[in-house]
A and B are shown apart, each in its own frame.
Chain A
């Protein structure tokens, strides 16, 4: 088992993006609407953050037509999983000295 090297990631850091990455890290894919509901933001706000994550190479956006309806699914890329794990490790490192 390889220990994750703590590394602060400015792309992941913003609260909505951190939440998005947290959800996507736990699954293979998650539908756009489900992420939107879980994070509690509008479609446009989620689109903006997803685009930033996509541009960083952290999120992959997939589109499929099911029963004549287009469904958009999101997934973390390998780079995204690595960046998220490193960022969480960094948050843990920072909180390690947090007094009770």
Chain B
């Protein structure tokens, strides 16, 4: 408190300028500290990419039942990653809905989804229509790598956003 007159008053609670500035600085420091704990280990992204790669690669087996059955370990693996992330960081967040980079992430996700469908369609066309064996393994590798990199990028800009501004 610097002894100046209250600048904001509500319900009988005064706040002077310096106190308000201190509170904003405290909030910014808290968010910066939070940002430090939100970054997942590299293997988390790698596992996510591998799960997607393994699932999409099953299309190359040309057996619908195998692909349908592969959705179970895929779903279990993703659920496991969510649990592990919560255990490691104590948090969960969806950068499309909360935080400082929602618009940027939403745009990136739209591009990612369009790219995902395009690569998937190309891979399936090559595998099933042109009978290029292993095309979906290649498509799975591309999309798995893409998912891992996208996950890393989202965390990076989210954390940077938390550090940059309140």
Chain A residues with CB under 8 Å of B100's CB are 26
Would B166 and A88 count as touching, CB distance under 8 A? yes
Interface size bracket, A side: 20 to 34
Would A27 and B91 count as touching, CB distance under 8 A? yes
Question: Known interface pairs A8-B10, A22-B31, A91-B24. Does A27 touch B98 (Cβ–Cβ under 8 Å)?
Answer: yes
Chain A residues with CB under 8 Å of B34's CB are 23, 26-27, 38
Residue of B8, B13, B37 with highest tally of chain A CB at under 10 A = B8
Interface size bracket, B side: 35 or more
Would A28 and B15 count as touching, CB distance under 8 A? no
B121 within 8 A of A: no
Would B17 and A97 count as touching, CB distance under 8 A? yes
A3 within 8 A of B: no
B20 within 8 A of A: yes
Chain B residues with CB under 8 Å of A25's CB are 98
Of chain A, the residue at the smallest CB distance from B4 is A98
Would B15 and A94 count as touching, CB distance under 8 A? yes
Give the docked Cα–Cα distance between A26 and B97 (Å): 10
- Considering only residues 5-21 of chain A, those with a C-beta below 8 Å from chain B are 7-10, 13, 15, 18-19
A31 within 8 A of B: yes
- Considering only residues 64-118 of chain B, those with a C-beta below 8 Å from chain A are 83, 86, 89-94, 97-100
Chain B residues with CB under 8 Å of A98's CB are 17-18, 20-21
B162 within 8 A of A: yes
Would A27 and B27 count as touching, CB distance under 8 A? no
Give the docked Cα–Cα distance between A63 and B27 (Å): 26
Q: Which residues of A contact B (CB under 8 A)?
A: 7-10, 13, 15, 18-19, 22-23, 25-31, 33-35, 37-39, 66, 88, 90-95, 97-98
Q: Which residues of B contact A (CB under 8 A)?
A: 7-11, 13, 15-18, 20-21, 23-24, 26-27, 30-31, 33-34, 37-38, 83, 86, 89-94, 97-100, 162, 166
19 more A-B residue pairs beyond the given contacts A29-B92, A39-B30, with a C-beta to C-beta distance below 8 A: A7-B10, A8-B11, A8-B15, A13-B13, A22-B30, A26-B98, A28-B93, A29-B91, A34-B37, A34-B89, A34-B91, A37-B90, A38-B30, A88-B166, A91-B20, A94-B7, A97-B7, A97-B17, A98-B17
